Amino acid sequence: MKSSPPYLVAILLCTFNGSRFLSEQLNSFESQTHHSWFVIASDDGSSDGTLDILLHYQNKWPTGKLIIRRGPENGFCSNFLSLACDPTISADFYAFCDQDDVWLPSKLSTALSSISHYGVSDKPALYCGRTVYVDEALKKIGASRPYSFPPNFRNALVQSIAGGNTMVFNSSTKVLLESIGRVQHASHDWWLYQLVTGVGGIVIYDKEPQVLYRQHNDALVGGNTSILQGTERFSAVLKGRFKRWCDVNNSALFAAEDYLLNENKVTLNLFRLMRAANFKDRIRLFGVVGLYRQSRLGTISLYLAVLLKKV
């Protein structure tokens, strides 16, 4: 196992009625091979024992190791961005964290070593990757699909490549988020992927999972491994959910437009033209923009969605 430099990591943990599984996640921080970290827990109005658990660990850990604050109570994306865009939170690196997962011991050290390999400090850098799907008892039930196509803005416009529970990012990314401010977006992880690729930053996708992603009835977002789940997601596209996400994301990208590379500004404008165009021009512009998803079947589904004006 490669050792990572003694960078300070701020773990951005968002909670809401997470008492069933929160302790296991907090315990997994203690097991990290990288020890230089602290937790900012933003609770979105829990009515169960979540705050009691957080207070227990706050008293158990050294002073300053766990800071608890009140969230905006406007959904998970708003809660995460309230942390990521807060200039008073300062560290070398930042890690999004869900309340119900378990991190493998090498999670932080692997992420930091991966980013450090590129030697990036003056440009945004984002580490993300696959997850192991587990049930409520942490028994393995599958894994997220490995992606091979390059992570870039043309993919980010139509797909979130990885869950926020895998994401670690550098200070340059944090400064960028602060500069743009909190936006309305379909998801904080998708926003981060769009933003880092849009400005020409580095995205590192790890095919070796570092997170046990717990699947349960209360999970906000579940895995996508079965044919049934894939069918359900395409059904949601047909019902207009994906189009509504694109509407919200497009509005958020207006706030970031001045930060995008010129070539990505062109891509974004073509994407907007495609969405508003008639049938013939939509098909033509789809080819011009070069949008794609991380599987050929996914790209075919995207093409069908464009045909039906569901993007």
131 neighbors 208 (Cβ within 8 angstroms): no
- H/E element, 103: strand 102-103
pLDDT of residue 132: 98
Q: Residues 140-166: what's their mean pLDDT?
A: 96
The answer as to CATH 3.40.50.1370 being correct for domain 9-214 is no
129-148 pLDDT per residue, tens: 999 999 999 999 999 999 99
pLDDT of the residue at 17: 97
What mean pLDDT comes out for the span 70-74? 97
- The domain segmentation of the chain, as residue ranges, is 9-214, 227-307
pLDDT digits (tens, 9 = 90+) for 192-216: 999 999 999 999 999 999 999 999 7
Q: Across the beta sheet with 140-143, what order do the strands follow?
A: 102-103, 211-214, 132-134, 140-143
- Residue 151 pLDDT greater than 90, yes or no: yes
- Asked whether the beta carbons of 125 and 114 are under 8 A apart, the reply is no
pLDDT for position 226: 47
Check if the beta carbon of residue 100 is closer than 8 Å to that of residue 164: no
Query: Please, is 303 exposed, middle or buried when counting C-beta atoms within 10 Å of its C-beta (0-12, 13-18, 19+)?
Result: middle
Over the stretch 100-131, which tens digit does the pLDDT of each residue have? 999 999 999 999 999 998 877 889 999 999 99
- Give the β-pairing of 202-206 and 125-129: parallel
Residue with tokens 């790209």: 299
pLDDT for 5: 60
Kindly report, residue by residue over 12-67, the tens digit of the pLDDT: 999 999 999 999 999 999 999 999 999 999 999 999 999 999 999 999 999 999 99
pLDDT at site 223: 56
pLDDT tens-place string over residues 225-280: 544 455 666 677 778 999 999 999 999 999 999 999 999 999 999 999 999 999 99
The residue-averaged pLDDT of 1-17 equals 83
Number of other CB atoms surrounding residue 89 within 10 Å:
18
pTM: 0.93
Cβ 18 vs Cβ 100: under 8 Å = yes
